[in-house]
């Protein structure tokens, strides 16, 4: 098979690395890819926003299956475009991708199909939003309806903060049209974890659970990022909880989407808060998480290709997935200054030495090659990922590698996996 992966981050490096292990794969292309991906796939300089360029490339190169990493091209309708030309592609179409692209769409689906989530109200008028915020008080969560690169959700402890967040979204329009509607939501307390599943719109095939670490600094302090690290599985998610999430959250969502006339297929990703009253949905995403993919995919023992094919062909109930025992941990090494502004072009050293370690992969995110050297080219630079039987062993393996990789300004969290360690004690 000839495969095209769309994207160029750590998630896509992980997908390409796994696909490369499949005997069914003859050639992999990745658009645009990165320095790490170029060792496994032919990178093509087409951006993820250039949907026409991507579909023309897939036609010319006779691509058998395209896999979309990020949400933006899904929300823009890449799947509709490919399918319209008779090309196979993994991911939901434009209408179904609203599950992630519109928080109002997701909330309405959850209410209609009794899926546990926080109480909320939607606003289009800033004065009404202000009155409501003042009435219900804090803590409260303010959300822009649309895609805002992970920055459109503000958890507010003070009323003033909530009003400022509302103004930023509705009046200053900091996220443009993503702020056309505002969601004011009940603040949930508890631990978070993500459960992703493959789905063909009929049945689901859940993956091992995982936990991301969004704030930039140790102890969950500082501003939110795309994700500073992850581990899988999350000990919080016992087999009973996984079953509950499958039956009460993932399946009702997939079946609800179908009865509402959407043909949803690809990944359904539930971001969950484990409250005293049980797990509640914080958000749905319509793609692999980044860095969740970096820890979930290495634990997949089965070949990924037959699963992706079964999803695309609507035959998911016919396939099974086997998972490795043990844990995977990913520690993200970021550029100095990230998630604010940062410099690019810093030479990365210590990458070659890691290749002898067979329980470790350094997944590249923002990297490039300049004058035959691997250099930084983004905020999140590397996802150093290891796996082993126990969590302490995995953490030791990963952090030893992290400490031996160097670039100017590099920073990373030193407490990835600590919450899981506490639960396991």
Task: Spell out the SS3 assignment of 364-390.
Answer: ECCEEEECCEEEECCCEEEEEEEEECC
Cβ distance to ligand GLY smaller for residue 83 or 224: 224
Question: For the window 337-376, what string marks contact with ligand GLY as x by the rule CB under 6 A?
Answer: ----------------------------------------
Interactions with ligand AMP, residue window 274-303 (CB under 6 A): 282-283
Distances (CA, A) of 270 to 15, 215, 296: 20, 19, 14
Structure tokens at 298: 């290495």
- Confirm or reject binding of residue 98 to ligand AMP (CB under 6 A): no
Rounded CA-CA distance 265/204 in Å is 10
Residue 379 contact, options ligand GLY, ligand AMP, none, Cβ 5-8 Å cut-off depending on partner type = none
Rounded CA-CA distance 216/338 in Å is 8
Interactions with ligand AMP, residue window 138-197 (CB under 6 A): 141, 153, 155, 185-188, 192
Q: Are strands 140-144 and 182-186 parallel, antiparallel or unpaired?
A: antiparallel
Rounded CA-CA distance 300/288 in Å is 14
**Applying CB under 6 A, which of residues 290, 381, 401, 417 lies at the interface with ligand GLY?**
290
- Confirm or reject binding of residue 71 to ligand AMP (CB under 6 A): no
Interactions with ligand GLY, residue window 204-263 (CB under 6 A): 212, 227
- Confirm or reject binding of residue 12 to ligand GLY (CB under 6 A): no
Q: Which residues contact 107 (CB under 8 A, 6 or more apart)?
A: 117, 120, 122, 183
Residue 227 contact, options ligand GLY, ligand AMP, none, Cβ 5-8 Å cut-off depending on partner type = ligand GLY
Cβ distance to ligand GLY smaller for residue 289 or 339: 289
Residue spans of beta strands (DSSP E) within 220-337: 221-224, 229-232, 266-275, 278-285, 327-334
Structure tokens at 84: 């319209």
Under rule CB under 6 A, how many of the chain's residues touch ligand GLY? 6
Cβ distance to ligand AMP smaller for residue 107 or 364: 107
**Applying CB under 6 A, which of residues 13, 18, 213, 214 lies at the interface with ligand AMP?**
214
- Confirm or reject binding of residue 70 to ligand GLY (CB under 6 A): no
- Confirm or reject binding of residue 289 to ligand GLY (CB under 6 A): yes
Rounded CA-CA distance 125/16 in Å is 45
Backbone angles phi, psi at 298, to 5 degrees: -65, -20
Interactions with ligand AMP, residue window 115-134 (CB under 6 A): 118
Cβ distance to ligand AMP smaller for residue 145 or 368: 145
Q: Which residues contact 418 (CB under 8 A, 6 or more apart)?
A: none
DSSP code for 117: B
User: Could you list the residues that contact ligand AMP (CB under 6 A)?
Assistant: 118, 141, 153, 155, 185-188, 192, 214, 271, 282-283
User: Could you list the residues that contact ligand GLY (CB under 6 A)?
Assistant: 212, 227, 285, 289-290, 292
């Amino acid at each position: 098979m000839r495969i095209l992966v769309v994207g160029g981050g750590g998630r896509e490096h992980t997908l390409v690395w796994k696909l490369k292990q499949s005997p069914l794969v003859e050639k992999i292309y990745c658009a645009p890819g990165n320095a790490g991906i170029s060792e496994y796939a032919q990178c093509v300089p087409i951006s993820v926003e250039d949907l026409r360029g991507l579909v023309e490339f897939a036609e010319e190169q006779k691509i058998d299956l395209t896999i979309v990493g990020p949400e933006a091209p899904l929300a823009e309708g890449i799947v509709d475009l490919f399918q319209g030309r008779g090309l196979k592609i993994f991911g939901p179409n434009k209408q179904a991708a609203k599950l992630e692209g519109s928080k109002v769409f997701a909330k309405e689906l959850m209410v209609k199909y009794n899926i546990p989530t926080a109480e909320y109200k939607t606003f289009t008028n800033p004065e009404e939003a202000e009155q409501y915020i003042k009435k219900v008080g804090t803590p409260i969560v303010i959300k822009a309806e649309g895609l805002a690169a992970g920055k459109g959700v503000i958890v507010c402890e003070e009323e003033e903060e909530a009003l400022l967040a509302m103004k930023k979204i509705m009046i200053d329009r900091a996220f443009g049209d993503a702020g056309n509607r505002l969601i004011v939501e009940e603040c949930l307390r508890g631990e978070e974890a993500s459960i992703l599943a493959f789905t063909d719109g009929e049945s689901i095939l859940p993956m091992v659970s995982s936990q991301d670490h969004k704030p930039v600094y140790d102890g969950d302090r500082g501003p939110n990022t795309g994700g500073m690290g992850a581990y899988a599985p999350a000990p919080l998610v016992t087999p009973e909880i996984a079953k509950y999430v499958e039956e009460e959250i993932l399946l009702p969502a997939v079946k609800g989407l179908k009865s509402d006339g959407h043909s949803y297929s690809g990944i359904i990703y539930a971001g969950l808060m484990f409250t005293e009253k049980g797990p509640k949905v914080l958000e749905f995403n319509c793609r692999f998480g980044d860095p969740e993919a970096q820890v979930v995919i290495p634990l997949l023992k089965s070949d990924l290709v037959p699963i992706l094919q079964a999803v695309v062909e609507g035959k998911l109930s016919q396939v099974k997935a086997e998972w490795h025992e043990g844990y995977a941990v990913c520690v993200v090494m970021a550029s100095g200054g990230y998630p604010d502004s940062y410099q690019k072009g810093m030479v990365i050293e210590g990458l070659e030495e890691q290749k002898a370690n067979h329980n470790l992969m350094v997944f590249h995110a923002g990297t490039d090659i300049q004058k035959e050297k691997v250099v930084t080219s983004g905020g999140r630079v590397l996802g150093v990922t290891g796996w082993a039987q126990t969590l302490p062993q995995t953490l030791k393996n990963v952090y030893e590698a992290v400490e031996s990789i160097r670039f100017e300004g590099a920073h990373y969290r030193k407490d990835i996996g600590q919450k899981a360690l506490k639960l396991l004690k």
